[in-house]
Structure 1
């Protein structure tokens, strides 16, 4: 069965973006001068970012995202950079994207319905979850199998918090890898 996982870069004080939604300081470890072809365009990564992106881009068959992330990314220009279908959790689908199917499917029935739809689309492949609100909801509802944290040695002081006082969630460490400007942490979500 496929794995449902979330992954994000976060500052040491728990922020995933600055107050203005800027994420560049948190992803500096990833963006650089190494060319890599993606399904949509050539991207420039650091060596570390290229390795991480290659690993992630080949393991996901679908992504679940929140509407806010979709809007901030401006619909990724019509297709997500990983080239996989994206299921958007929203209260209302935008009229210009209302068609169900690839590359975007809008689900108004909540995060559990969106994860179920993404799992259908992905088949045997894994499903990624992105966006702080959707990740928190998936944790609360017991939908996540794994959490990947790219911990950046930075104190933002304020901004968009990843975790905001939800119920406790027990995690089991799968791996911890140090790299230049980031520590990659992977955890399995422990279920009772």
Structure 2
């Protein structure tokens, strides 16, 4: 039976769960990490886990979304910095490229390149969790578009096309070993071509 926790205790326990869960997911993978391992590392009863998450997949998704929030905060800082030297499409290219390098520091993000595992995670999300992910993607794209407008550029395609392009660059980046040693140059070329086409002077 789950113990009753105060709101303060819940905050502390959830932070510990996320910290320990991240370590376990990165070490063993999501499939091989059991809820038993997570609660043991945190020091709570198994029943208490469900006070916070419906499944370990929900927890993994929460971690991924938190990582994406931190990554986007860095993106905004980098974009403003690059805009001091470059026009918007070029500044965006350097910004996204830097974000791709950020992926190397966060192995959990590579889940997004495993369709089977991603479908398993998505199938166990409740509607609120799914909506959070959708809203984060929309917010990221909107932030880029708003800054473009301030710099005198407009998006020539729908925001969903722009978002799909960003996701495609991520997919190519984490599979660059399959492309060969020229993969970085090819990806940078594609990014430049895409952003020059997606954003034009208004």
When normalised by structure 1's length, the TM-score is: 0.24
The higher relative CO (CA closer than 8 Å, separation ≥ 6) is in 1
Of Structure 1 and Structure 2, the greater strand share is in 1
* Structure number with larger C-alpha Rg: 2
Of Structure 1 and Structure 2, the greater helix share is in 2
When normalised by structure 2's length, the TM-score is: 0.24
